[in-house]
Structure 1
Amino acid sequence: MKKYSTAFIMLMMVAGAVSAAFAGEGATADAMARAIFYGGVAIGAGVAIGAAAGGGAAGLGNAIRGVLEGMARNPNMGGKLLTTMFIGMALIETFVLYGLLIAIIFLFTGIFDGKAGF
């Protein structure tokens, strides 16, 4: 729990520093709002790819564990189990790449900048 509170305090400090940096005389409220918005989009993209990578790693670990247990119980099925495991690993990795693709879309396309009616 302490780890999360420390991360939250650090996030608030960064947000305060960003707002203080944009609070100069030349900055407008629109520029501050856009900076905070794009900062939030960047944080959201990072969380999305982090969750996708974590889920993919857990899935791959579970798949490998299952195949090794199956091979230990019946060594004659090793070839078929490995083939199935590699197909499953490719599918799991595809889902992680989809998460990366969504994060890249969030960051670089600008579809959520308020101009498209969202």
Structure 2
Amino acid sequence: MNEMTENAIITAASLISAGLIGFGAALGAAHGNGNLCGKAIESMARQPEESGKLFTNMLVSVGLVESMPILCYVIAIVLVFANPFIK
């Protein structure tokens, strides 16, 4: 009976942490992408002749910013479906 309650506590904590990971990753990516795109558009408005280079750099940077939440979601999925802490 004691082992069953330990597994239930670990499962509940894993589900809560997976939700917090997803929330934090989405919030961080949204904030980062918003700042990144806003500053890139400001730079394009100031220097229209460099807008092609700035746009390319912005797209690469958005891809790099989005890679971190994807890794966070993978960790969250592992915690939910292949939990290494459950005996």
Q: Which residue of 2 aligns with 1:42?
A: 15
- Correspondence 1:100 to 2:39: no
CA distance in 1 between partners of 2:6 and 2:85 (Å): 13
Q: RCO (CA 8 Å, sep 6+): is it higher in 1 or 2?
A: 2
Q: Which structure has the bigger radius of gyration?
A: 1
Give structure 1 regions of 4+ aligned residues with deviation exceeding 6 angstroms: none
CA contact (8 A) 2:44 2:54 kept: yes
Give the TM-score, by structure 2 length. Answer: 0.92
Q: State the Cα RMSD in Å.
A: 1.1
**Alignment of 1:29 onto 2:2:** yes
Gaps of 5+ in 2: none
Contact 2:29 2:65 in 1 (8 A): yes
TM value normalised by structure 1? 0.69
Matched, 1:76 2:11: no
Counterpart CA distance in 1 for 2:15 and 2:51 is 44
Which residues of structure 1 form unaligned runs of 5+? 1-27
CA-to-partner distance for each residue in 1:70-118, whole Å, 9 max, x for gaps?
01111111111000000000111111100001101111112111x3xxx
Percent pairwise identity: 34
Aligned partners of 1:108, 1:38: CA distance in 2, in Å? Answer: 10
Count of residues in Structure 1 that have an aligned counterpart in Structure 2? 87
